[in-house]
């Protein structure tokens, strides 16, 4: 299959601004290449693909980023800036579409989804978020009624945010296991990984660290400086140990030393890449019982699921984290979320999409 991937219009690949989509895209490229497919990627200028993905041709587009939907009002209209990066990426996609079997869109935005109604070549969409915008949800609903196969979701709970999707195609996610080293240290620090933004609930993890009189190691791109400093100031100085945004290899080395990862999203997290990355290193995860984390974590086996927004429940599970066998965590990823498993699901889905256009 010849597949053209359209990346996120928020930040270049490697910047961290695109969140989990950056890693998901790289995992998918790697899985598709290893299955023998031809892959081209359209991404913002300065983007880099991970080592091993050199066989994928990278096309650059330039322009103004989109505003992330989770930071706008649910009822906001679509804003497309002058010199739009998103439009630039879509145009590039159309330029090379005649050499492809399918365009695979990974941006959560209006334009590429709307294009589905106006293209002869199939355009399939990996929806990377829950319902964060009325205008996008309504558009998905409209396109879905004509092309029900063209949308895939990372988790069932995420897909439930779009009630008109009757039989959602769930593709999970994939991780290149060789990139994550298993570490068996049970006495490490508390860890937290993610974009530092209100929907990620960093304050709840800091609460737990403070109650235990420990530091919380925080890795990730600070998307919202005001929020970050507000959280920092709410706890005694030094509670949060800011570790910065690291590339996957450096991140996994540090993350693997932790005795637990706290994952505290306040929104319907579509999946939660950082959970699986921690598990791949052997680090158990405690998260709130909602969204993707609820489908990934095996309660009592690979971590614990706390009552949503109940910080005390979170804390109580940290106190018994040594009951989790770190080997179980790694094993879950091997059996459920490798790049091969992920790419096979995506290929099966894309074949279904393509067959409808013949």
261 touches ligand UDP by CB under 6 A: no
205 touches ligand UDP by CB under 6 A: no
Token output for 195: 């974009």
Report DSSP state, residue 77. P
Token output for 337: 């979320």
304 touches ligand UDP by CB under 6 A: no
Restricting to residues 238-257, which ones interact with ligand UDP according to CB under 6 A? 245-246, 248, 251
219 touches ligand UDP by CB under 6 A: yes
Residue closer to ligand UDP (CB basis): 110 or 192? 192
272 touches ligand UDP by CB under 6 A: yes
- The C-alpha atoms of residue 10 and residue 284 are separated, in whole angstroms, by 30
* Residue 22 beta carbon to ligand UDP: minimum distance, rounded to whole angstroms: 6
Site string for ligand UDP, 143-182 (x = CB under 6 A): ----------------------------------------
Residue closer to ligand UDP (CB basis): 250 or 356? 250
DSSP helix/strand/coil, 90? helix
Residue closer to ligand UDP (CB basis): 26 or 150? 26
Selected binder of ligand UDP within 158, 273, 294, 339 (CB under 6 A): 273
CB of 75 closer than 8 Å to CB of 39: no
Question: Which span (77-85, 92-100, 231-239, 269-277) binds ligand UDP, by CB under 6 A?
Answer: 269-277
Name all contacts of 103-106 with Cβ < 8 Å and 24+ positions apart. Answer: 103/4, 103/6, 104/3, 104/4, 104/5, 104/6, 104/346, 104/350, 105/6, 106/5, 106/6, 106/7, 106/8, 106/21, 106/24, 106/25
Token output for 355: 């067959």
Helix axis angle for 273-280 and 248-255, nearest 10°, is 60
Token output for 318: 């940290």
277 touches ligand UDP by CB under 6 A: yes
Contact footprint for ligand UDP (CB under 6 A): 16, 19-20, 23, 193-195, 219-220, 245-246, 248, 251, 271-274, 277
């Amino acid at each position: 299959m010849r597949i053209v991937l359209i990346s996120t219009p928020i930040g270049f690949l490697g910047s961290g601004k695109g969140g989990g989509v950056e890693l998901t895209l790289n995992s998918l490229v790697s899985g598709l290449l290893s299955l023998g497919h031809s892959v081209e990627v359209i991404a913002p200028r300065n983007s880099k693909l991970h080592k091993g993905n050199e066989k994928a041709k990278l096309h650059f587009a330039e322009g103004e980023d989109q505003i992330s939907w989770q930071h706008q009002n649910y009822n906001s209209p679509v804003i497309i800036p002058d010199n739009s990066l998103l439009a630039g990426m879509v145009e590039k996609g159309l330029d090379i579409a005649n050499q492809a079997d399918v365009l695979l869109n990974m941006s959560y935005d209006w334009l590429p989804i709307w294009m589905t109604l106006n293209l002869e070549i199939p355009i399939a969409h990996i929806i990377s978020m829950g319902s964060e915008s009325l205008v996008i949800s309504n558009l998905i609903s409209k396109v879905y009624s004509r092309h029900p196969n063209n949308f895939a979701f990372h988790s069932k709970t995420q897909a439930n945010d779009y009630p008109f999707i009757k039989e959602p195609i769930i593709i999970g996610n994939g991780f290149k296991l060789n990139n994550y080293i298993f570490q068996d240290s049970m006495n490490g620090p508390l860890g937290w990984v993610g974009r530092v933004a209100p929907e990620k609930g960093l304050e709840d993890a800091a609460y737990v660290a403070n109650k235990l009189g420990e530091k919380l190691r925080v890795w990730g791109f600070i998307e919202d400086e005001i929020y970050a400093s507000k959280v920092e100031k709410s706890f005694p100085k030094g509670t949060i140990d800011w570790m910065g945004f690291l590339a996957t290899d450096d991140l996994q080395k540090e993350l693997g030393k932790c005795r637990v990862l706290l994952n505290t999203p306040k929104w319907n997290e579509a999946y939660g890449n950082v959970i699986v990355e921690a598990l791949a290193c052997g680090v158990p995860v405690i998260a709130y019982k909602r969204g993707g984390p609820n489908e990934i974590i095996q309660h009592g086996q690979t971590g614990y699921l706390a009552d949503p927004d109940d910080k005390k429940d979170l804390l109580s599970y940290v106190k018994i984290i040594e009951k989790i066998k770190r080997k179980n965590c790694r094993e879950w990823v091997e059996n459920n979320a490798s790049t091969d498993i992920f790419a096979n699901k995506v290929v099966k889905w894309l074949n279904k999409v393509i067959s409808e256009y013949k």
